[in-house]
Amino acid sequence: MKIHLTMPAVIVAALLLAAFSTGSPIFLAGAMLITLLVVFSFLGVWRAARTLEITSSMSGRSVQRGEDVQLTVTVKHRGIIPIAPVLLELYATPDTPETAVRLKDAPGRTQKLTLPFHATHVGVSSPGVKSVTVEDLFGLFAITKQPSAARSELLVLPMPFQVEPLTFAPGDSGLETMARATEDVTNPSDIRAYMPGDALKKIHWKLSARKRELVVRRFEEPVLPDALVLMDCSAPPSWGHPEAEADVRDALLETAASVMSSQMVTDHAVRLPLLGEHPVELDKAMGMPMILENLARVDFSETDRFERVLLLETRRMRRVGATVVISARLSSHMVDVMLRMRRMGPEMRLYLVTFTPDDPLVLPLISKLQQGEIEVCYVTPVPA
């Protein structure tokens, strides 16, 4: 509680001195009136703070980057004595700093405020009320309270965009292999009863004679090769401005979301390992809503250098037909590892997130990748 009684105390003391010096009841009445105002101000603030109820709600729990969401805060109290409009202190979010708002346009015992939030950057935030300050009309007493209810979580999801379909290494599309497998009578995996339309060469004649009914062989179908998406989960390079660095993180996440979304309509499995304090591996079986939510929670806390991560992932290349690398940095070590991955068989594509695609320090590395038959695509971060 904050108390500002210096001025009232001086005035009351002066009025009492005047009343006793002159014997005038007017000065005494003035001192008593000011004393009553101070007492009632204290009682009003104390009662309002004691019965204070703070609720907040958002118009949505998750939005895509660039959309708007509204936070509605309601403050109620059961005090009888009028008090000043309450002061709200709001938590900072990735898009807005910590702010204080006084509900000047909402007098009374129920005060409501609706604040719009523009989802500028992908991530997790918890907009809400940090504290509420109750004051009397004269500014003599102030009591600050924190809401008891937990803050609601707001997920700002990445917004996918169109990307070119992935190409797989020659012979890894699976179609030719599956056609051969259905005709390969030396590779049966099971049998079943004959059905009209089955090819005669699939009939198991010896077993049919023994069972005295036609049975046909069933064959294993080969598994299609995977697509592997590797995103740099370490802190992006500095561009000299926090807003630009946030835009780079958005572009990384939205590129990963776009590649995953494009693979949802194919028969190939696709995997996206996310490293950091809470590592998780995403795959298409999760569905896009879960994939987008996990991408929104990426905190870019990975400490290993990305070229080391790429090197460790080479152990998967035997089952991979296409590999996508998403990064905001490019080094000679990364180029060497990607070329090594390409020589192991899978098609490779690099998405380089940058504001300067014509950087003379990067162009030789890009040329080396292209000579190694690695597709290079540029992604320019775009503010919401």
Strand partners, 88: 101, 132
pLDDT digits (tens, 9 = 90+) for 192-206: 788 787 777 778 888
Between CA 266 and CA 273, with CA 267 as vertex, the angle to 5 degrees is: 85
Second-level CATH architecture of 226-379: 3-Layer(aba) Sandwich (3.40)
pLDDT digits (tens, 9 = 90+) for 336-347: 999 999 998 899
Distance CA 154, CA 139 (A): 35
Q: Show the tokens assigned to 120.
A: 């500028």
**What type of residue is 333?**
H
Q: In the predicted model, is pLDDT for residue 18 greater than 50?
A: yes
pLDDT at 356: 92
Q: In the predicted model, is pLDDT for residue 139 greater than 50?
A: yes
Report the percent of the chain where pLDDT is more than 70.
92
Name which residue leads in pLDDT, 99 or 370.
Answer: 370
Second-level CATH architecture of 1-157: Sandwich (2.60)
pLDDT at 328: 95
Q: How confident is the model at residue 174 (pLDDT cuts 50, 70, 90)?
A: very low
Residue 272 neighbours by CB under 8 Å, 6+ apart: 229, 230, 231, 256, 259, 260, 281, 282, 283, 291
**What type of residue is 314?**
T
Domain boundaries, the chain: 1-157, 175-219, 226-379
pLDDT at 40: 93
pLDDT at 172: 45
Distance CA 53, CA 80 (A): 15
Residue 117's nearest CA partner among 148, 73, 158 is: 73
Residue 97's nearest CA partner among 52, 127, 64, 135 is: 127
Q: What is the mean pLDDT of the chain?
A: 86
Name which residue leads in pLDDT, 156 or 75.
Answer: 156
pLDDT at 220: 54
Contact status, residue 273 vs residue 254, Cβ threshold 8 Å: no
pLDDT digits (tens, 9 = 90+) for 57-102: 888 889 999 888 888 888 888 888 888 888 889 887 766 778 888 8
pLDDT at 107: 55
| Residue 300 falls in which region: left (phi positive, over 0), alpha (psi -120 to 50) or beta | left
